[in-house]
């Protein structure tokens, strides 16, 4: 099968940052927590590829470790959304039209109606700024997204013959949901997961930009941008590299999502391409 260009390009872009994040556990060109004031604000060069910041820390190394922070936050936030949202969506579909369905869907609407970033700011502000609280704040808003996708995917499957057959064979609704429905909506979930992943990276960047994400000395892209702001007129490299890192990672994930949808979602292949639901931020 020929892979779509978008998938290949997206996977290369994202793979680059994923690799940087993984390598950063073992090696970075410089230590990101050691300050070297003598070498502060160096422009990009042979020694410091992306230059140094106002504390003399190596920007390239900080971007590598920042990739770790961004990816970790977004992965766990998507994980929360899947772990809570998918069972809820499956349950709602299994009890379609019932009280449970109604309760779950109205609860979903409610979370959806909230301006997510505002509530995320509230949560991180109340429980203290940390990467963990950023994860929870972003993760909560992933729950209704996955619940909706799972429910709508599952609803159409519940009318199919093989599900009916499983019911006749005496399998319970929970068992059918996990054995027969879940594997068949996995494609939808993967596509949505990629998109929520990229939104999570953007949300993490925004939260750490306002100081509510990972705390220093842990490098994060958003915080690097915030720190660079006062120096942007004489040291633009401080703002450029973390920004590019965010844009390229998010772009890579979005392209991957598009490409994955093309091959995984057969309904889309022949139809006009449309985007699946996007969650707020």
**55 or 112: CB nearest other proteins:** 112
Report the C-alpha gap between 38 and 57 in whole angstroms.
10
Report the C-alpha gap between 77 and 134 in whole angstroms.
9
The one among 47, 118, 160, 174 contacting other proteins by CB under 8 A: 118
Using the rule CB under 8 A, is 71 a contact of other proteins?
A: no
Instruction: Map the chain to HEC letters.
Output: CCCCHHHHHHHHHHHHHHHHHHHHHHCCCCCCCCCCHHHCCCCCCCCCCCCECCCCCEHHHHHHHHHHHHHHHHHHHHHHHHHHHHHHHHHHHHCCCCHHHHHHHHHHHHHHHCCHHHHHHHHHHHCCCCHHHHHHHHHHHHHHHHHHHHHHHHHHHHCCHHHHHHHHCCCCHHHHHHHHHHHHHHHHHHHHHHHHHHHHHHHHHHHHHCCCCCCCCCCCHHHHHHHHHHHCCCCCHHHHHHHHHHHHHHHHHHHHHHHHHHHHCHHHHHCCCCCCCCCCC
Q: Which stretch binds other proteins (CB under 8 A): 83-91, 93-101, 104-112, 175-183?
A: 104-112
**185 or 202: CB nearest other proteins:** 202
Q: How many residues make contact with other proteins (CB under 8 A)?
A: 46
What phi and psi, each to the nearest 5 degrees, are found at residue 218?
-60, 120
Residues near 130 by beta carbon (within 8 Å), at least 6 away in sequence: 124, 213, 214, 215
Smallest distance from other proteins to CB 113, Å: 5
Using the rule CB under 8 A, is 110 a contact of other proteins?
A: yes
Using the rule CB under 8 A, is 114 a contact of other proteins?
A: yes
Q: Which of residues 145-204 bind other proteins (CB under 8 A)?
A: 198, 202
**47 or 122: CB nearest other proteins:** 122
Smallest distance from other proteins to CB 188, Å: 17
Using the rule CB under 8 A, is 12 a contact of other proteins?
A: no
**196 or 198: CB nearest other proteins:** 198
Using the rule CB under 8 A, is 232 a contact of other proteins?
A: yes
Smallest distance from other proteins to CB 227, Å: 12
**55 or 114: CB nearest other proteins:** 114
Q: Which stretch binds other proteins (CB under 8 A): 22-30, 47-55, 113-121, 174-182?
A: 113-121
Report the C-alpha gap between 211 and 271 in whole angstroms.
43
The one among 24, 28, 70, 116 contacting other proteins by CB under 8 A: 116
String of contacts with other proteins for each residue 119-138, x by CB under 8 A = x-xxx-xxx-----------
Contacts with other proteins, residue ranges (CB under 8 A) = 106, 109-110, 113-119, 121-123, 125-127, 198, 202, 205-206, 209-210, 222, 225, 228-229, 232-233, 236, 239, 243, 246-248, 250-251, 254-255, 271-275, 278, 280-281
């Amino acid at each position: 099968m020929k892979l779509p260009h978008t998938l290949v390009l997206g996977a290369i872009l994202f793979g680059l940052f994923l690799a940087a994040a993984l390598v950063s556990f073992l090696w970075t060109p410089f230590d990101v927590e050691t300050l070297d004031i003598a070498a502060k604000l160096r422009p990009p060069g042979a020694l410091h590829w992306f230059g140094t910041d106002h504390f003399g820390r190596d920007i390239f190394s900080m971007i590598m470790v920042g990739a770790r922070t961004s990816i970790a936050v977004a992965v766990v936030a998507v994980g929360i959304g899947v772990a809570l949202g998918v069972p809820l969506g499956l349950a709602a579909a299994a009890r379609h039209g019932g009280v449970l369905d109604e309760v779950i869907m109205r609860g979903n609407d409610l979370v959806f109606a909230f301006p997510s970033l505002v509530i995320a700011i509230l949560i991180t502000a109340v429980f203290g700024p940390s990467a963990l609280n950023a994860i929870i704040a972003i993760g909560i808003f992933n729950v209704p997204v996955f619940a909706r996708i799972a429910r709508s995917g599952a609803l159409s499957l519940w009318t199919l013959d093989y599900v009916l057959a499983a019911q006749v064979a005496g399998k319970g609704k929970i068992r059918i949901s996990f054995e027969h429905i879940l594997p068949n909506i996995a494609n939808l979930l993967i596509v949505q997961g990629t998109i929520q992943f990229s939104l999570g990276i953007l949300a993490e960047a925004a939260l750490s930009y306002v100081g509510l994400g990972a705390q220093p000395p842990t490098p994060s892209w958003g915080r690097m941008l915030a720190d660079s702001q006062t120096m942007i007129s004489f040291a633009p490299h401080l703002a450029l590299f973390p920004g590019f890192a965010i844009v390229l990672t998010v772009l890579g994930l979005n392209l991957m999502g598009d490409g994955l949808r093309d091959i995984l979602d057969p309904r889309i292949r022949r139809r006009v391409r449309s985007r699946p639901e996007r969650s707020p931020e």
